[in-house]
Amino acid sequence: MPGWLAKCFLNEQGSLRSGWKVLGFMLLFPAIGVVFTQVAKALHVPRLGMGLGVWINAAVVALASFICVRLEKRPFRDLGFHPGKRWLSEFGAGTLGGILLILVTALAVRGLDGFHWERAVSVGPRQLLAAAWAFLGVAFFEEIMSRGFPFQRLVEGAGTWVGQLVFAGIFALGHWGNPGMHGATRAWATLNIALAAVLLGFCYLRTRSLALPIGVHLGWNWAQGSLLGFGVSGTTNIRGAWTPVFHGRPEWLTGGTFGLEASLPCTLVCLGVILLLWRWKGVEAAGSSGGASTASAS
């Protein structure tokens, strides 16, 4: 192979450049999805409900990630899965943190006379648990996809902020097809979803574990939709334990039917948490052997 061509594909250590690894993952993931879909059709598998469907998506992206890390001769756990008490404690802390962040956002909007709540008596523990299971699948899928192998390799190859900004853009654009993405709502929602991606990226970078971002993602979505009754990134078919009744205030204040993620208070909350995470030195994940040290993530 000519020297210039080798430099195009290989870094100074003789390993495949991170950009090619990211591209390979982005081609492998949908290919596995297509294979699964065709097999399901051939076996006449009935249409999956949301709860099971999101877990199938999570399994597909996990399989693509597993293949990629095994080709590197690294263990799957290096992506941020370190089973143990610490992983579970970070997951629990993240879940509570996500609930708190969206609750603070909601109370800020309510304090500005954006809405009031009414109790939805038809929603009980069974519905809340079923929704938590579905949102957990969403959190696993989106975090493995957006803070897993492709994000981590891009950070290794191009630096923290390149990885953060690229995947913030991808994460935001991935929600553009959601209901309610129009006009000023599209602008506010895009900004806040991108900021949320940076926030979740720091959750990984400061711990080198996916436990914290998965927990934050779960707590944020579940509390926003199933507990407080708002839309979740435009999803409007979720019934919450409480129902917000809007007072006709502008959507940039309340987020409207899209959800709190399209509101100004959400922007301020995300920026505040990003600043705290940026200043936090973080901790190295127990047993982590892959990736750069947490101290280099600033």
- Residue 210 makes CB contacts below 8 A (sequence gap 6+) with 79, 80, 81, 143, 144, 147, 148, 204
Is residue 100 one of the residues assigned to a domain? Answer: yes
Percentage of the chain surpassing pLDDT 70? 90
Helix (H, G, I), strand (E, B) or coil at 244: strand
Least confident of 1-5, 77-81, 127-131, 153-157: 1-5
Is residue 2 one of the residues assigned to a domain? Answer: no
Is residue 67 one of the residues assigned to a domain? Answer: no
The whole domain housing 155 covers 83-285+293-297
Is residue 196 one of the residues assigned to a domain? Answer: yes
Helix (H, G, I), strand (E, B) or coil at 48: coil
Most confident of 7-11, 61-65, 235-239: 61-65
Least confident of 9-13, 121-125, 208-212, 255-259: 9-13
Confidence at residue 6, expressed as pLDDT on a 0 to 100 scale: 64
The single-letter code of the amino acid at 112 is L
Tell me the C-alpha to C-alpha distance, in Å, between residue 291 and each of 13, 144, 219: 15, 16, 27
Q: Which residues pair with 117 in a beta bridge?
A: 244
- Residue 251 makes CB contacts below 8 A (sequence gap 6+) with 184, 185, 188, 258, 262, 263
pTM (global) more than 0.85: yes
Total domains in the chain come to: 1
pLDDT above 90 (res 52) = no
Q: Which of 154, 195, 149, 151 is nearest to 172 (CA)?
A: 195
Give pLDDT tens digits for 264-279: 999 999 999 999 999 9
* Contact call for residues 62 and 137 (beta carbons, < 8 A): no
Cα(73)–Cα(15) distance, integer angstroms: 12
Q: Hey, what's the torsion of the CAs at 244, 239, 216, 36, to 10 degrees?
A: -150
Is residue 195 one of the residues assigned to a domain? Answer: yes
pLDDT above 70 (res 113) = yes
Compute how many other C-beta atoms are within 10 angstroms of the C-beta atom of residue 251: 19
Per-residue pLDDT band for 297 (boundaries 50, 70, 90) equals very low
The single-letter code of the amino acid at 264 is L
Compute how many other C-beta atoms are within 10 angstroms of the C-beta atom of residue 23: 12
Give pLDDT tens digits for 116-167: 999 988 888 899 999 999 999 999 999 999 999 999 999 999 999 999 999 9
Is residue 235 one of the residues assigned to a domain? Answer: yes
